[in-house]
Amino acid sequence: MKANIKSKVPLIFLIVVSLWWWFYYASSNAFNGFGAEKHEWLFMLDTLLVLPILCFICEDDKQKALLKFAMLCSSAVFIGSVIIPEQNKVLFQYLESGRYVVLAIVLLLELTAVITVVLAVRGLLAINEDPDIALQKPIDNMLGTSALSTLLQFEGRVWTFALLASHIKPMAYAGEYHFFYDKKDGARSNLVGFLALMVIELPLVHLLIHFLCSSTAANIVTGLTLFGLVFFFAEYKAVGKRPISISGNNIIVRYGLYPSLTIPVHNIAAISANTGFIKRSRYIKRFNYAGVPNVEILLHEPMNGRKAIYLGVNSPCRFIHCVKQVKTKDSFF
């Protein structure tokens, strides 16, 4: 089985069993003794026993498997709380109470990210270090290189640019040449538009859900929307601060809050301007906010299964020219 399909098996399994058990609990038929036998343990067996086993079978990286297991099982508990009838919940009501533990863990991760940001930026201001490295060092020292440390680094970038963007200087990032993408097809303007829409609809949606559903549901949706606002605000700030750089014989692609991607120049088969629409593909990686990408990079050897990388930058001709110069020097030596 292909790796990208194999990694999606646990999620597909959760969707399929959730639909089946929703039908089982919501209907009255021969499967459930015409409504008399709606046992909670049937759903729990699939989602809390079979699902974790699938996570560890389908993921080679055990840390990533553990993270996927935690996320999918938490989702399964939420789904079960909705589809299982209240009168049939015996053990499941204790699992539902566990949502407060999950919330405490999420808040702890957020607090850890914020504290890391403050310490990292303080060190950055003292020694003028690359902001990405300043965030990566303390997290890797604490957790090592893992899926969780990658997640916390992303959280760190969110809070860095949301709270302390004015302290970040683009020229502090590693690289001899820096290129930006904030003006390409109005990238920053589009982000401002998203922010404005979210701010306008926030109180309206809160009131609507409050009256149509419940105050708890309204508070959950509002909380998620507020976090989305923080993310988009941080993305808006990062677009103008975090550059794509040429450092030595490498291209370091930093795009908004995305994790950086390092492309060795010697692995570039061809680089050219692009003017056409690029469809999504498992073999292609796109870094572009609006319009079509204007730079095409073809690789000799695939990186993470990607054979081509497409970028959207403010000045594509200058970027292509600089990369070709570096590639020529690299080939010469």
- pLDDT tens-digit readout, 272-318: 999 889 888 889 999 998 889 999 999 999 998 899 999 999 999 99
φ, ψ for residue 110, nearest 5 deg:
-65, -45
Q: Average pLDDT, stretch 114-142?
A: 72
pLDDT reading at 1 higher than 60: no
Distance CA 137, CA 165 (A): 19
Model confidence, pTM: 0.68
Comparing 64-78, 94-108, 158-172, 258-272, the range with the smallest average pLDDT is 94-108
pLDDT in tens, 235-283: 999 998 899 999 989 999 999 898 899 999 999 999 999 988 988 888 9
| Cα separations in angstroms, 128 against 124, 131, 137, 181, 251 | 5, 8, 14, 23, 21
